[in-house]
Amino acid sequence: MAQPLNPTLYTLLLRHFGKVNISSEGQQMAGEYRKNISTGRDDWQIQNPGEYYCVNCPYCSDTRQRLYINHRWGVRDAKGRLNLWLAVCYNENCMNPSRRQGLWKRLQGPASLTTAKILPGKKVTDSPLTQLPGPCTPLDQLDPSHSACAYLAGRLYDPVMLGKFYGVSYCLDSRYTLARERIVAPIYLNRELRGWQARYIGELTKEQAKTTPKWWSDPHMKKSMLLYNYDNARKFRTVVIVEGPGDVWSFGPMAVATFGTSFSERQAELLRRAFTPSTHKERLALSCVLLWDPDVRADEKKIKYVHAKVLPALKQTFGDRLATVWLPDHDPGFYTDRGFLRRFVECEAQKQGVKVDWNLR
């Protein structure tokens, strides 16, 4: 393990709790001060919180080190603030201002925490704000006979719904050759456009696939920092994790896509933020299903990655309310019967003792 970014805080936590895990190791905090229109105060807006220290929360029944304390917690910033709100319990959400203040006082010792030295770390920020690849027309504004609409309708997608709900469009022209005359799926985070993926219209032959990607991404987008359809899915009681935008379209608005078989610390952080319950009752209602393509299960290297990294990261947020479901033959985007797809997931999750709920929170 590399040296923690805040050796003082890490040492104090180690003495107090005995065991400390590090999340997003070596990542420095990224953000900026922005004027709050309501209060007139400069508030710190975080793009990436960076390194966290994970311990068992002393205020609830936590035994899985789900109290996350940021490396800048309790250290005075440029505005003289301690930012004690950067300690969050992802077990019972039980860290109120009084408890944060009390923990900070107990850790103080010789009062060295407020002026603790923060070591430089690697800078990992959100995917930058972007624009669509060129002039694009929403699918719901195209003639049904248009090639983009006809192709999607042939796969039993509703082009009008994709256009209105997901903002999917057709790129008329672009400086990017691989975006031109393609279907474009925009990717938002907190309602801000952070990237897009352009889908080839039709199916590629084996020869074409050697030189032409089926999906091509915004070259400035950081896929590991985003989840497709995150803003919609966070409103539901159960979130379903799939690989690509087409899988989301097939399953529905409660699904997010990871852009392939990788899962980053930032993506885990986004899910923690969205699905940390505010009450015990809400905690019991929230759940997660990992529904990556079935070929992952057949790949020894990929399945080891799932068990070694993906599932432990998800369990930090969902605990035993997490199910891993494998479709029998095809990826979720292949299935045209959404009802069947959801019933299959419900049944498989139930076998693992996980209740799914497709309703809004």
As a whole number of angstroms, the distance between CA 181 and CA 151 comes to 13
Contacts of residue 175, defined as CB under 8 A and 6 or more positions apart, other chains included, come to: 133, 134
Give, for 52, the enclosing helix (H) or strand (E): strand 52-55
**In DSSP terms, which residues pair with 31 in a beta bridge?**
46
Phi, psi angle pair for 344, to nearest 5°: -65, -45
Give me the pLDDT at residue 44, please: 79
CA separation, residue 261 to residues 223, 244, 256, 290 (Å) = 12, 9, 13, 11
- Nearest C-alpha neighbor of 144 from the set 157, 130, 126: 157
Pairing of strands 183-189, 192-199: antiparallel
- Pairing relation of β-strands 287-290 and 322-324? parallel
Angle of CA points 110, 111, 117, to nearest 5°: 110
Q: Which residue has the tokens 């997660």?
A: 288
pLDDT digit string, tens, across residues 182-191:
999 999 999 9
Least confident interval from 72-81, 139-148, 252-261: 72-81
pLDDT band at 97; cut points 50, 70, 90: very high
Residue 208, C-beta contacts closer than 8 angstroms, at least 6 positions apart: none
Alpha-carbon distance of 316 to 23, in angstroms, equals 11
Residue of 249 and 266 predicted with greater confidence: 249
Residue 39 phi/psi, 5° resolution? -105, -15
The per-residue pLDDT of the chain, averaged, comes to: 92
- The string of DSSP letters for 156-210 reads T--HHHHHHHH--EEE---SSTTTTTSEEEEEEETTEEEEEEEE-SS---HHHHT
Give the Cα separation of 55 and 311 in Å (integer).
19
pLDDT at 38: 67
DSSP conformational letter for 76: -
Q: Is the pLDDT assigned to residue 28 strictly greater than 70?
A: yes
| Mean pLDDT (whole number) for 43-56 | 85
Q: ∠ CA 188-265-18 to the nearest 5 degrees? A: 145
DSSP assignment letter at 307 = I
Burial of 36 (0-12, 13-18, 19+ CB in 10 A): exposed
- For residue 109, what pLDDT is reported? 64
What DSSP string runs through 218-285? Answer: -TT--GGG--BTHHHHTTBSEEEEESSHHHHHHH-TTEEE-SSS---HHHHHHHHHHH--SSHHHHHH
pLDDT higher than 90, residue 278: no
Is the pLDDT reported for residue 16 higher than 70?
Answer: yes
Backbone φ, ψ for residue 329 (5° rounding): -135, -35
User: How far is Cα 319 from Cα 262, in angstroms, rounded to an integer?
Assistant: 20
The pLDDT value given to residue 178: 94
Compute CA distances 95 → 20, 135, 277, 285, 338, whole Å: 18, 47, 12, 20, 40
Residue with tokens 């070591």: 119
| 3 state SS of 17 | helix
Give the pLDDT confidence of 194-217 residue by residue, as tens digits. 999 999 999 999 899 888 999 999
pLDDT digits (tens, 9 = 90+) for 301-340: 999 999 999 999 999 889 899 999 999 889 898 888 899 9
Mean pLDDT of 213-231: 94
| Cα R_g (the chain), whole angstroms | 22
Helix (H, G, I), strand (E, B) or coil at 46: strand
Q: Give pTM, 2 decimals.
A: 0.78
**Torsions phi, psi for 211 (to 5 deg):** -120, -15
For residue range 61-89, list pLDDT tens digits in order.
Answer: 888 898 999 999 999 998 889 999 999 88
**71 with 50: CB under 8 angstroms?**
yes
pLDDT of res. 244: 97
pLDDT greater than 60 at residue 266: yes
Q: Is the confidence at residue 110, as pLDDT, over 60?
A: no
